[in-house]
Amino acid sequence: QVQLVQSGAEVKKPGASMKVSCQASGYTFTHYFMHWVRQAPGQGLEWMGWINPHSGGTNYAQNFEGRVTMTRDTSISTVYMELTRLKSDDTAVYFCAREGRGPLIEGAFDIWGQGTMVIVSP
């Protein structure tokens, strides 16, 4: 079945970097854009950006420009999201989410990873 499996929880110090992976299975990896969305504890959803797994092209939300890098490894159907210069308010669950393809659904996120908890603490 179609699924996205993310890497495990992490604890980081302020100023450090984090890198979360998201491995896709059950579909053609390069045919669907992948997005990253985060959710701080008890808060709503915040879009971070997308990567085109076919070309490697990216587009980042302004809030994260300069701190985030999204990459992919097509040989293992995996995308990565790296966030640098971590602060305490980067503590959140980070989700990868596949963008749908087809009429009307293009732009919506039809498949989500299980989430990766990242805690930033001294």
Partner 1 sequence: EVVMTQSPATLSVSPGERITLSCRASQSISNNLAWYQQKPGQAPRLLIYGASTRATGIPARFSGSGSGTEFTLTISSLQSEDFAVYYCHQYSNWPRFGGGTKVEI
- Which residues of this protein are in contact with partner 1, per CB under 8 A? 35, 37, 44-47, 61, 95, 97, 100, 103-110, 112-115
Minimal distance, residue 118 CB to partner 1, in Å: 15
Distance CA 32, CA 15 (A): 33
10 versus 46: smaller Cβ distance to partner 1: 46
Kindly tell me which of 18 and 37 has the beta carbon lying closer to partner 1: 37
Q: How far is the CB of 46 from partner 1 (least distance, A)?
A: 7
Residue closer to partner 1 (CB basis): 82 or 110: 110
Encoded tokens for 37 = 């969305």
Closest separation in Å from C-beta 105 to partner 1 = 5
